């Protein structure tokens, strides 16, 4: 496959969105407080997820999804503990953070409504996981969607983070090809990428979830994918579609069985890694049980109360509830 880098137009399209001012004063203040507490250990912060795009209703319990990019793990976790933001041991956190990165980490500040649900990752690992040498789909599956760099240590670091976001969009071509329609424009390409990515999550989303997410992202994402498709055409990967209408493209080469098999294995490996990563999150995310309960109550519309034994032994006793929840959710989604 051609290896030419992204065009200036694609970079500008991503930068126009990723470097735009952050209108959330609470988040801006919290990020600055985090940078101060980190004592130089913080390289960057990237805001992503449904709260960033407006695809989900937020309330007082809604967390901010953030990638926290650090130069090295141990100094960052030591600074968080010294600042009173975490009770976790720095050495232990640094050790588990090297296994299946990123690491979910909860950060709250006194007198601030912002709850940071962070994915902590080293800068070099961040750049690898948004590129062709990534080890799974976790980072790239989130960062090809709208995100914003809300903090960068300096200009070179900001440029490196931006390059990672551009790469996350460029790489969509590598993992969506087997599931693309014969002809597509930028909007159809973006929605298809969302549908493919969500279908390979640990918890598959309902079919209409991709459509709802795309409606929330369409205005921001369409210019980015327009620039990407023009790049792909310049590299010989796409040609104007014969019957697709204005702005529609078709692939110039067919997808063979080996490519489809390789990508299915890639996604299955990603699911296995994400499932295993849950075990680490239980150790790394303070208050994980209460957070999950609040989230389940918000999305399910029903209050979930745990017994004393379930709270004491959640990893053992909560599995029947998990299976019932997934079963009931599947039934509701299949009901017309």
Distance CA 14, CA 146 (A): 9
With CA atoms as reference, report the closest residue to 3 among 117, 167, 137. 167
Find the largest Cα–Cα distance for the chain.
Answer: 65
Q: pLDDT tens-digit profile of 204-229?
A: 566 688 898 999 999 999 999 999 99
| Residue 35, C-beta contacts closer than 8 angstroms, at least 6 positions apart | 42, 45, 151
- 10 CB-side CA count, 13 A: 25
With CA atoms as reference, report the closest residue to 294 among 117, 101, 110. 117
Q: What is the 3-state secondary structure (H, E, C) of the chain?
A: CCCCCCCHHHHHHHHHHHCCCCCCHHHHHHHHHHHHHHCCCEEEEEEECHHHHCCCCCCCCCCEEEEEEECCHHHHHHHHHHCCCCCCCHHHHHHHHCCCCCEEEEEECCCCCCEEEEEEEEHHHHHHHCCCCCCCCHHHHHHCCCCEEEEECCHHHHHHHHHHHHHHHHCHHHHHHHHCCCCECHHHHHHHHHHHHHHCCCCCCCHHHHHHHHHHHHHHHHHHHHHHHHHHHHCCCEEECCCCCCCCEEECCCCCHHHHHHHHHHHHHHHHHHHHHHHHHHHHCCCHHHHHHHHHHHHHCCCCCCCHHHHHCHHHHCHHHHHHHHHHHHHHHHCC
Phi and psi angles of residue 134, each rounded to the nearest 5 degrees, phi first? -60, 155
pTM of the complete model beyond 0.85: yes
Q: What pLDDT is attached to residue 336?
A: 47
- Degrees to nearest 5, angle at CA 99 with 98 and 104: 85
| Residue 3, C-beta contacts closer than 8 angstroms, at least 6 positions apart | none
- The sign of the CA dihedral 128, 118, 267, 271 is positive
Q: What pLDDT is attached to residue 43?
A: 98
Structural class in CATH, domain 8-168: alpha beta
Residues in the chain with pLDDT values less than 50:
1-3, 298-299, 301, 317, 333-336
Q: What pLDDT is attached to residue 3?
A: 46
Q: What pLDDT is attached to residue 21?
A: 85
Q: What pLDDT is attached to residue 278?
A: 86
Pairing of strands 64-70, 115-122: parallel
Q: What pLDDT is attached to residue 335?
A: 47
Q: What pLDDT is attached to residue 334?
A: 47
């Amino acid at each position: 496959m051609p290896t030419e880098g992204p065009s200036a137009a694609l970079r500008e399209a991503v930068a126009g969105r990723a470097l735009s001012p952050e209108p959330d004063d609470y988040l801006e203040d919290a990020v600055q407080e985090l940078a101060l507490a980190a004592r130089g250990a913080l390289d960057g912060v990237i805001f992503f997820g449904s709260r960033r795009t407006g695809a989900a209703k937020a309330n007082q319990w809604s967390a901010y999804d953030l990638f926290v990019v650090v130069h090295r793990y141990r100094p960052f976790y030591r600074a968080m503990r010294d600042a009173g933001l975490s009770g976790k041991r720095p050495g232990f956190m640094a050790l588990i953070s090297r296994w299946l990165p990123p690491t979910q980490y909860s950060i709250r500040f006194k007198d601030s409504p912002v709850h940071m649900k962070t994915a902590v990752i080293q800068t070099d690992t961040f750049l690898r996981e948004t590129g062709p040498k990534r080890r799974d789909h976790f980072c790239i599956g989130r960062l090809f969607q709208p995100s914003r760099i809300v903090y960068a240590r300096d200009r070179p670091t900001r440029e490196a983070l931006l390059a990672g976001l551009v790469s996350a969009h460029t790489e969509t071509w590598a993992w969506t090809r087997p599931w693309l329609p014969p002809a597509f424009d930028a909007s159809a390409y973006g929605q298809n990428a969302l549908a493919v990515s969500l279908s390979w999550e640990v918890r598959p989303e309902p079919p209409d979830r991709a459509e709802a997410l795309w409606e929330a992202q369409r205005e921001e994402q369409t210019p980015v994918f327009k620039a990407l498709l023009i790049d792909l055409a310049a590299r010989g990967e796409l040609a104007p579609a014969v019957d697709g209408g204005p702005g529609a493209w078709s692939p110039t080469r067919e997808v063979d069985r080996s490519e489809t098999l390789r990508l299915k294995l890639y996604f299955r490996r990603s699911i296995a890694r994400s499932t295993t990563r849950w075990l680490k999150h239980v150790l790394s995310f303070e208050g994980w049980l209460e957070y999950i309960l609040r989230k389940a109550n918000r999305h399910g519309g029903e209050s979930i109360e745990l017994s004393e034994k379930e709270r004491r032994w959640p990893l053992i006793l909560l599995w029947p509830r998990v299976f019932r929840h997934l079963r009931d959710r599947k039934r509701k989604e299949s009901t017309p």
